[in-house]
């Protein structure tokens, strides 16, 4: 919720490169967004003669499909996509779209939400890089199979963000059932993360231990 609020106001910049390593958590549980080196403001589009933003230098795993297809006319919805990727990572314990190349990235996205078509992305043929690569058609699977530990509200919330177009705005997400009901649980302690050989280094940060410590300190203060 803190992440969504960070880019909710219209005066705030488009982070454009939102990812886990740019999310800072204090000892008291306060969350802030860091590294705005790629951020842009909507007013820059008006001041820029071309009216376009850059699509270079962003983290591929959290990059929105429109940016992958070369769009330079993006808005806050690219941050919603990145937020959805981070939320999905919390649900399953590892990155959702760890593409090795941009082509591989789009193929992985298609395997989760279905291939991009005119039916689910009406403006796709207007994008600069549309049609350069022909992908095999992938039918969207049941997300419950991908996120077996997620409950129905978490799946529905993810579907509001993880789509090619018409993603909900930050304000609309804050007003969704996911935030209006009791505080949601992510069941982090139930996660069984499978690591490949490159990932089997000693962890430098024990998130579960950190959360437990914050909860204990808050209980002691009450």
pTM assigned to the model: 0.70
5: number of Cβ within 10 Å:
13
Whether the CA torsion 135, 139, 140, 141 is positive or negative: it is: negative
Instruction: Please spell the DSSP secondary structure of 72-98, one letter per residue.
Output: S---THHHHHHHHHHHHHHHHSS-S--
Q: pLDDT (tens digit, 9 = 90+) per residue, 103-155?
A: 999 999 999 999 998 899 888 888 877 778 788 888 999 999 999 888 898 99
Q: Which tokens belong to 55?
A: 């699509």
What kind of fold does domain 2-221 have according to CATH?
A: Transferase(Phosphotransferase); domain 1 (1.10.510)
Q: Is the pLDDT of residue 83 over 80?
A: yes
Q: Where are the chain's structural domains?
A: 2-221
Q: Which tokens belong to 129?
A: 């890089």
Residue 212 annotated in active site: no
Q: Which tokens belong to 74?
A: 């993006």
If phi > 0 it is left, if psi is from -120 to 50 it is alpha, else beta; for residue 187 that is: left
**Which of 17, 75, 129, 201 is labelled catalytic?**
17
Residue with tokens 């590294």: 35
């Amino acid at each position: 919720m803190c992440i969504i609020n960070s880019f909710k106001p219209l005066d705030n910049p488009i982070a454009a490169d939102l990812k886990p390593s740019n999310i800072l958590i204090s000892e008291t549980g306060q969350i802030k967004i860091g590294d705005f080196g790629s951020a842009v403001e909507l007013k820059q589009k008006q001041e820029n003669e071309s009216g376009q933003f850059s699509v270079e230098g962003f983290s591929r795993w959290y990059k929105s499909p429109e940016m992958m297809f070369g769009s330079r006319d993006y808005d806050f919805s690219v941050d919603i996509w990145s937020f959805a990727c981070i939320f999905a990572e919390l649900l399953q314990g590892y990155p959702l779209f760890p593409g090795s190349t941009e082509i591989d990235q789009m193929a992985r996205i298609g395997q989760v939400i279905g291939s991009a078509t005119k039916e689910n992305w009406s403006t796709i043929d207007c994008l600069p890089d549309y049609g350069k690569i022909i992908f095999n058609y992938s039918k969207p699977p049941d997300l419950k199979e991908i996120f077996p530990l997620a409950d129905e509200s978490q799946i529905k919330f993810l579907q509001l963000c993880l789509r090619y177009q018409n993603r909900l705005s930050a304000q609309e997400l804050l007003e969704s059932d996911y935030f209006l009901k009791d505080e949601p649980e992510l069941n982090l302690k139930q996660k069984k993360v499978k690591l490949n050989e490159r990932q089997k280094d000693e962890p430098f940060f024990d998130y579960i231990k950190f959360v437990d410590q914050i909860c204990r300190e808050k209980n002691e203060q009450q």
